[in-house]
Structure 1
Amino acid sequence: MSKVTSLQTEERVNSLAHTPQGHVRSAAGLTRRRKAAIIVRLLLSEGISLPLNQLPASLQTTLADEIAALRYIDAPTLEAVVSEFVAELEQAGLAFPGGIDGAIELLGEHLSPEAAAALQAQHAGDHPTDPWSVLSEQEPKKLAELLLGESPEVAAIVLAKLPSQISAAALGQMPGAEARRIAFAISRTSTVPPAAIARIGDALAHRVLDAPVRAFETPAEKRMGAILDAAPAATRDDVLQGLAETDADLADRVRRAVFTFADIPDRLAPLDVQALTRTVDQPTLITAMAGADEKTQVTVDFILSNMSQRMAAQLRDEISERGTPAAEEAEAAMSEITAALRGLEAAGEIRLKAPASK
């Protein structure tokens, strides 16, 4: 068949498939894009949510144009398009996310933070990232810290651009005065040119993406405090003394992060003693109490005074029968108790009071 004849045939099929008003009478001459538009229209009419926002912007606009060009298709044509779509689905073996961001999300926790950051940096030029998506994915506290480093006007533009729930969460992490200034500035963002808004989004997103990957999420003093919680008292005191000689400020922060058996009366609410006795096995509790010295006896009294008289009397009898354990055994039991309280706090079952300055 000649090229001219082929073109004439294609034009004839297209003319038969569509009316001038966009009515479709046959699936024979439909392009894949138009078939995709028909499938999307059908799924949306059935109340099925489609992640169309994950498509490139150019494909989203093309899809919208295709849908806009359609008015009506007859039942046989719809059935033919759906049958072809279902047949293609049945032939599909395995789908991949596409793009480095999708690959990193798929691999998830199987990638180290360093590897994920390196992959993102390596492909940043090839795969431009929507800055507003980057900012939306940040934790509210981190987003608030980022915006507090900007002027109220810039912060207001960002919050006005982001989804309202994310903006509200970020505002909730800010001091009241700063939050009010930024909220007031939002009312003045309507006249900002789109190009300026885009530049602000790009600049802040690049700052987030260029930030070095932190090996540890928790501050150094909290990590040191957790280690010293489990250390023998002599070791803990020696480390803190040595730290104070080299970095007094860090030593003070570490002291506040340390949570020992002696700190329990100051940091545990009396009503939460029941949670402690329910979590820690009785032999451990008895060993810790029996090994208390002058410094930790106040903790023993605190625990006993915040339980039923019958149970307190029973524990006193068992402590007396137990006798004084070795120092190492008593310290191990005390560390187990403080670790249990840390676990209860992490699980949201109790809330330890903020430590006082030591």
Structure 2
Amino acid sequence: MTALKRLTREQRAAVVLVSLGPEHAQSLADQLGVDAMRRIRDALTDMPFVSQEEMLAAFADFITQLNIWSAGMRGGKKEALDLLTKALGETLVEQIRGPIVEVEQPSDVWSDFNGLDSQVIAEFVSQQHGAVSALILHKLASDRIPEVLGLMESAAAVEAIGHLSRPDDPSPAALSVAEAMIQDRLLTKDTDPTSDPKVIMIGETLGTLPRDLRDAALTRLDQEDAVRAQAIRAALLQIEDIPARLPTKSVQVLFRDLDRSIMVKGLAAVKVDTPEVSEFLLGNIAQRMADQYRADIDALGEMDGSTKDRAIGALVREILGLSRRGDITLNSLSDAE
């Protein structure tokens, strides 16, 4: 909660107790117990000025933390909520509290997570923010934590260790998010990223980009999610893969259906850097037509780098369009190999 960033947990509890007034504060203090009240008393000595926004936020935070505090409260969560309701009124407590949805956490997520290979866990945890990686590592069997840390990227391991040393317990909400993320990214077996429309879209888009930008994007994707990066590569049509992925019977469809200027510029763009592409395409049409295209290519003259990139991107987009419409069928790289 943004309004509470500068207040400690004990200071937030102090705000609640002071706001309740002596009658209700004493009852709640009795339930919290001596140890908790000592920490709250110490927090009061360093208490800064608290705005009205922070006071309301403190009440909301206190209520949501009752699941944690209740273990040390003689009266328990229900009695504490009753006290707050008497002091503040039912309407205000409900507004502060908001809708509380009791979600039964899937008990097998962390068990299944512990059953994964340490290298898989290390790679996954290395991709997370330090606080999240520490939360996840806390859920590992204690004897596996050093092993996983040793397999992690050094910078990520150091950051995780820093967060592991902090005493704060993860909130139920944070645990729920972590569980959902682990379930989705590591434990769900029936999701095929190659059929994900986003993956297909990204793969097709990358094929139309300049090679340097495309390679940089793929490197980043490899670092963030190797599984999805592999699926994106499978959807990616690179101009240099045309001889392997385009069946020879489909070459004539390109020359028949695509705009001639797109074909000429695309062939001119690959003539020097990837001549095998232009040789493949021109080698699978009638000789007379191929000679006409070669004359048009020579007439274009030299192309600069950005012009080549645009011409190649346009040609790849048109080929992908034919594939989506079912006019041609592209081979997968694995089939081609």
TM-score class, shorter-chain normalisation, is: 0.3 to 0.5
Name which one, 1 or 2, has greater alpha-carbon Rg. 1
The two structures have a TM-score, normalised by structure 2, of 0.39
Of Structure 1 and Structure 2, the greater helix share is in 2
Q: TM-score, normalised by structure 1?
A: 0.37
